[in-house]
Amino acid sequence: MKRLILARISHRFPTATTLCRTLPGFHSVSALDIVSTMPAHASVAKASQGATYRRLATKIGEICGLVLVVISLWLAGPALAKQGDAENGAQVYAKRCVWCHGEEGDGEGPAAERLNPPPRDFTAAQYKIKTTAFDDDFANDDNMFRMIRDGMPATAMPGWNDVLSEQEMWDLVWYIKTVAGLEEEELGADMDYGTQIESSPESIARGKQLFLEDDRCLECHGKEGKGDALKGLKDDSGFRTWPRNLTKPWTFRASNDPRDIFARISTGIPGTQMPAFGAPASDKS
């Protein structure tokens, strides 16, 4: 069991993830970093002579076991896509979502004019947070479900986990897919996350270099990552937008875990200036 979980964990993700960790304020230790300290548990057991050490080793072993279970749950990610009932979704939508997203799902609800970023226009079939490949136009069901469940930090989009049942949230996914004309579309699987490297002084230095060189990220996010390099930026729909302040990772729309940051760097944020660096044609890659 442990071996299986370890195999899944050691399926690590690439360099780009380390980019954002070079920035001040970004000190969150990822679950994978915790795992990288785990061989220590074996060597403690070996080196220990006395019973105290053995007890200590057992204790550490237990803690590591627990960490492994937590991490395996974390790796499992959101529930696998489920079929939802679009008609029921429409009813939940009418009660909970119209205020912002509008009766037609076009993002023109009564509250919309006071909001920046504005509520999503579902008729456009474009989502900011997707984990499908960079050249895939659409988000997948899990992506939509997750945003409904968790909400989008630092915006008006609330998370609905405490209010709606899981089935209701799947029903909503199917309803907004209908509004977007995506109900018949075969939506893409998750991107290939590659092999994650461990965080180390070297990987952080490499990330910093990538961030700064050729104005790659610096151009918009600024030398310190504070998002202050470009003024008067507009998104594709003409709304004022700002490059994210990377020193405030709690404002990231998806989350600040390495996998999410990797996905944003790789596929970008559709409809905004944040480029997809996974695209071979991108002159920024």
Cα 266 to Cα 166: distance, rounded to the nearest angstrom: 29
Q: Is 257 in the site for ligand HEC (CB under 6 A)?
A: no
- For ligand HEC, the closer of residues 74 and 99 by Cβ is 99
Q: Does 146 engage in binding with ligand HEC (CB under 6 A)? A: no
Least distance from ligand HEC to the Cβ atom of residue 67, Å: 25
Shortest distance in whole angstroms from residue 163 CB to ligand HEC: 8
Identify any residues that bridge with 234 across adjacent strands, giving them in sequence order.
Answer: 240
Q: Among 48, 91, 167, 273, which residue sits at the site for ligand HEC (rule: CB under 6 A)?
A: 273
Separation of alpha carbons 170 and 81, rounded Å = 8
Q: Does 138 bind ligand HEC (CB under 6 A)?
A: no
- Interface mask (CB under 6 A) for ligand HEC, residues 76-95, using x and -? --------------------
Instruction: Please select the residue that binds ligand HEC; options are 102, 105, 258, 275, rule is CB under 6 A.
Output: 275
Residue 199: CB minimum distance to ligand HEC, A: 15
As a whole number of angstroms, the distance between CA 180 and CA 175 comes to 9
Closer Cβ to ligand HEC, 202 or 213, answer by number: 213
Among 57, 274, 276, 278, binds ligand HEC (CB under 6 A): 274
| One-letter amino acid for residue 9 of the chain | I
Q: State in angstroms the smallest separation of the CB of 271 from ligand HEC.
A: 8
Can residue 221 be called a binding residue for ligand HEC (CB under 6 A)?
Answer: yes
The reply to whether 127 sits near ligand HEC by the rule CB under 6 A is yes
Task: Rule CB under 6 A: say whether 191 interacts with ligand HEC.
Answer: no
Measured from the CB atom, the residue of 46 and 114 that comes closer to ligand HEC is: 114
Binding residue (CB under 6 A) for ligand HEC from 120, 149, 177, 259? 120
Question: Which residues lie across from 240 on neighbouring strands?
Answer: 234
| Positions in 51-70 near ligand HEC (CB under 6 A) | none
Distance between CA 279 and CA 16 in Å, rounded? 13
How far, in Å, are 94, 96, 125 from residue 103 at the CA level? 7, 11, 16
Residues making contact with ligand HEC (CB under 6 A): 19-20, 96-97, 99-101, 111, 115, 117, 119-120, 127-129, 144, 147-148, 152, 155-158, 160, 172, 176, 216-217, 219-221, 233, 241, 243-244, 246, 252-254, 261, 264-265, 269, 272-275, 277
